[in-house]
Every structure is written in structure tokens, then in C-alpha cells.
Amino acid sequence: MKNNSFNNCLCEYCTNMEMKVTAINKETQGRRNALGILNRYELSKKTVCLKPEGERFYRRDCINRNCSKCGVKKLQEEIRKALRGKAQIEWNRWESQTYKDTKTGKKKLRKMLRLKRESVYVFLRELYEEVETFSSHLHNAMWQYQQFNTLIHEIPMNWVVFCMDFSENYTCLYQDEAQSAHWSHDQATSFFIVAYYRCPEHNEIMHESLMFVSDDKHHDSHGVHHYVTEANKHLTEKLHLTIEREIHFSDGAASQFKSKTPFADVANSSTDYGFPCEKHFFGSRHGKGPCDGEFGVVKRTVSQAVVARQALIRNVKEFHDFAKAKLSKPNDDKDTECSDHKLRTFFYVPQTEVTRQRSDRINAKQIPGTRKLHAVKPCSEDILRVATRALSCFCIHCRGSQTESTCQSVDHVDDWESQEIQKRQAKSTKGTDNSRSKNKTTRAKSSKGTDNSLYNRVALLTNHLSKPCKFTK
Ligand SMILES: [Zn+2]
Ligand SMILES: [Zn+2]
Ligand SMILES: [Zn+2]
Ligand SMILES: [Zn+2]
């Protein structure tokens, strides 16, 4: 994934901003005070101070609107001049709309592109409101992508980096129906993990695509946990990799990667796998490039074979079998795993294998401000807490090197912060709850109630109330 193609990946927020830029340019074309901004990056640039010399990123205060010298006000004056005398303006905007599902009769939400024609006042009010957080949106997306990109090119030995995502469902297509474009309803879930690690023999960076095909239709955190577990089994048991630290990169979809259950999985990762797993998130609504590329390859190959009547794909299993036979790498006897250090491995996962009754994980507590976090890692020895960070950093210090005593990104990133993810306290039935503390973050840990969940039992065992969180390095 090149920086360029990443920048071209437009999220809804970016798309809406881009369409506003187009609208302003159209309205002011040929005017003396025309704004003449090319794109959303230039629009954002007008609201911040110049980058410090030699720096790749804007100052944090400017991005977060804490700088007295810049801000949306910098842009306002120029736009006002450019649009002077205009009463109305037309622009396109993606908006959520409710509609009635004709099959189920239920009300649903969908994104619709709307053409709006309103007064300049309404347009500007909407623009200024969106621009307020837009610079940090762009900054976070670029920062996170840069961290990911640097890490996969300099990955330390015994580390594994996963970039993961669900793909749109592949609908199995019968060849006889291909012409008339009839689609069967037997849908396959595809989950991709692109894994990066060092080949122990040659020290080269290995790229392995792990594709999970399942008839399980839930795209949720339980599915993710299952696929990750299978991936780790494959890497440690089949490829005999030693893993000391595993980094997961994904988008910030709450139901799949970025909420209390996935965070509980992070906290428990050493128990689950024998090594710590961290979750890092691409900027909200950005990311997942390598996975999209891989899914494109598989989907194209299967669809072409079906249309050319070279393959009969009637169900999810057949979809998996065909893709596996055709696209696995290494794929013939001459090929070895180290031929070009690129592997592609397929897994078929029957729905029945995915466990959703995981009481120790689903009862976790939501961390306040989850939306703004971009990194979560386990606290060693304490499965009731995780450490979080607003942005990721993989500088030498943050990779665990002793040669640097502090993080080299302190200008942009705060230190890790310990957060409680323990199960919310069920009301004590014995009335002898003595665990209450004035400190909100250490409250709610009594196990004297009727609840005998793993969390509470472990809380007693580790007596973590008095224990500071030790981060894994
Ligand atoms: Zn965006
Ligand atoms: Zn500034
Ligand atoms: Zn090798
Ligand atoms: Zn750092």
C-alpha cells in the first residue's frame, strides 16, 4: 500500500469535506477572491500554522485547536470574502437516512448522497463545524498509517504484525445464473489477516496472507478472536515461529475491533496465546489497504473462473476449496516458503466453531473515550486492566530498546495510561462491600456479590487493588 493510495482512500468525513471544497470552488470560480484550494488537505492547512522546519507533521496544539495563532477562524475570513454577495450554494453530502426494508418491514439506516441547496449561512455553519475536528482527523489517519508502515519495514525479530479486516461478503454465484446475474443467498464471510514477520532463517520480512472463509455471518469481535486464535496456532504450531509480541492493526469498527470485548481479549492475550497482543487502529474510518488488495485478488480469481465455467461454486466450502487450490502460496513443489517470502494460506471455519459464550470477555467495562484511542495493550500480570494511548508509537524506545530512555514522539504522543476494564460491579447482596474507594478508577472490585465470574475470582487472587499496572515492553 503506497502512501498515495492510502490518501486516496476517502472516508465519509473526507468525502463530505472534498465535496464542500468542490462547491466553494464552483461558486467562486473566476472571482477575484476565489479561494483556489485544490482539496481537503489544503483546506485543513488553512486552519493550522506551518509545520515546524524539517517536520512531517503539524504541531499538536494547532491540530487540537489549542494554538492562539491558528484555527478555523483563519479560514473564515477568506471564505467570507470569496463567497461575498452569494445568497445560496449547492453541494453534495453523504447523509444517513432511514428507510423501510421491504423484506422485513423494519426501519433501517443507510447512507445516501444528497444534493443540498441552502443559504450560504447554513453551508458555512456546517463547514466550520466539520472543519473544527478535521485537521486532527487527517493527522491521526496519517500518523497511524506512518507508524504501521514504518513498523512493517523494520519489524523486529520475533514480532508479528497483523493488518486485519472483514471483507464484503462474497456471494456464491452459480455459473448458469451468471448471465442473468442471479445471486444465491449462501454467503461466505471472508476475514483477512495480512501477517508480517521475520523469516527466522534468512531474517527477511515475510508477508503472509491468511484468509479465513466461514459460513458464520456475524462480523463481530468473537469472530475476530477466533480467527486470530487460528492464525496464531498456524504461526506457532505449523510454522514454529517464536512470538514475543504481536501487533494488530485494523480500522476502528466498534463491534469488531475497538470496544470492551476486544479490549478484554487484549488484556487476556498472554493467557490465551502465551505472548501479549496489542491493538492499534488506523485513523477512524481509514485503513485496511493491504486486506482490500488481498480480497480483490481472491474475488477476481473466483468470479472469473465461475463466469468462464471453470469452477462450480455452490457454497462457502466450495468457495474456500477453489480459492485454496488456486491461490495458496507456495503452490507447487518447486516453490518453497522462502522463494519470495510471500505466503498465502486459506482456512475454512465452520460457523459452529466460533464461540460467542465468553462471559469473561463480554462483561468487560467500556473505557471512557474509547473513540479517541488508537492503541491498547495488556498490562502484564493484570488481566483486569489495559494500557491505552491516544496515538501509536513504535520508536526505538517504544519497541522496548534500552538505548533510548524516552519516547521519541513526545511532541505528538502522550505516554500509556492504565485503564480498568473490569466487569461492572453487580450490587453487593451482603451489604458488606468494603471495596469502595473515592477513586473512581479503582472502584467496583468487590467479589462479595453473587457474581462468581472469572474476573472477580481473578481479582481476589491477584489482589490487584494495590498493584500498579506494569506495562509489557
Ligand atoms: Zn477521512
Ligand atoms: Zn497554530
Ligand atoms: Zn526465508
Ligand atoms: Zn515512542
30-51: pLDDT as tens digits: 877 777 888 999 999 999 999 9
Ligand located closest to 52 CA: 2
**Are 281 and 261 within one domain?**
yes
Asked if the structure places residue 269 within a domain, the reply is: yes
Give residue 442's pLDDT: 35
Asked if the structure places residue 123 within a domain, the reply is: yes
Tens digits of residue pLDDT in 67-79: 999 999 989 988 8
Query: Quick one: how far is CA 243 from the chain centroid?
Result: 22
**Are 128 and 101 within one domain?**
yes
**Are 169 and 272 within one domain?**
yes
pLDDT, average across residues 53-74: 94
**Are 210 and 349 within one domain?**
yes
Give residue 309's pLDDT: 79
Asked if the structure places residue 137 within a domain, the reply is: no
Res. 458: pLDDT tops 50: no
Report the C-alpha gap between 65 and 131 in whole angstroms.
11
Cell of 399: 519497541
Residues, beta carbon < 5 Å, ion ligand 1: 11, 13-14
Q: At what angle do helices 221-233 and 260-267 cross, to 10 degrees?
A: 30
Tens digits of residue pLDDT in 104-157: 788 887 878 899 999 999 999 999 999 999 999 999 999 999 999 999 999 999
Give residue 285's pLDDT: 59
Give residue 272's pLDDT: 94
**Are 194 and 318 within one domain?**
yes
**Are 447 and 378 within one domain?**
yes
**Are 366 and 430 within one domain?**
yes
Ligand located closest to 46 CA: 2
pLDDT, average across residues 85-104: 87
Q: 248 - beta bridge partners?
A: 162, 279
**Are 251 and 335 within one domain?**
yes
**Are 96 and 183 within one domain?**
no
**Are 92 and 210 within one domain?**
no
Domain of 11 in residue numbering reads as 3-132
Pairing of strands 375-380, 277-281: antiparallel
What proportion of the chain, given as a percentage, has pLDDT over 90?
51
Which residue blocks in 154-259 are alpha helix, DSSP H? Answer: 221-233
Cell of 235: 504461526
Q: Which of 88, 103, 132 is the last residue of a domain?
A: 132
Alpha-carbon torsion angle 96, 97, 101, 106, nearest 10 = 90
Asked if the structure places residue 138 within a domain, the reply is: no
Å from CA of 152 to ligand 3 middle: 16
pLDDT, average across residues 405-412: 92
| Phi, psi of 258, deg, nearest 5 | -125, 75
Å from CA of 14 to ligand 1 middle: 4
Pairing of strands 245-250, 375-380: unpaired
Please answer whether residues 453 and 360 qualify as being in contact, where contact means their C-beta atoms are separated by less than 8 angstroms: yes
Mean pLDDT of the chain, nearest integer: 82
From residue 404, give the alpha-carbon distance in Å to each of 146, 323, 387, 395, 409.
Answer: 20, 46, 21, 9, 12
Q: Which of 369-378, 392-401, 446-455 has the lowest mean pLDDT?
A: 446-455
**Are 317 and 387 within one domain?**
yes
What proportion of the chain, given as a percentage, has pLDDT over 70?
81
Residue 3 pLDDT grade (very low, low, confident, very high; cuts 50, 70, 90): very low
User: Which three-class secondary structure state does DSSP give residue 107?
Assistant: strand
Give residue 464's pLDDT: 34
Please answer whether residues 383 and 250 qualify as being in contact, where contact means their C-beta atoms are separated by less than 8 angstroms: no
From residue 195, give the alpha-carbon distance in Å to each of 170, 341, 407.
Answer: 22, 12, 26
Tens digits of residue pLDDT in 255-282: 899 999 999 999 999 999 999 999 999 9
Å from CA of 124 to ligand 3 middle: 57
**Are 150 and 41 within one domain?**
no
Q: Which of 63, 97, 132 is the last residue of a domain?
A: 132
Asked if the structure places residue 185 within a domain, the reply is: yes
One-letter identity of residue 52: P
Q: Which of 132, 152, 184 is the last residue of a domain?
A: 132
Å from CA of 371 to ligand 1 middle: 15
- The domain tally of the chain equals 2
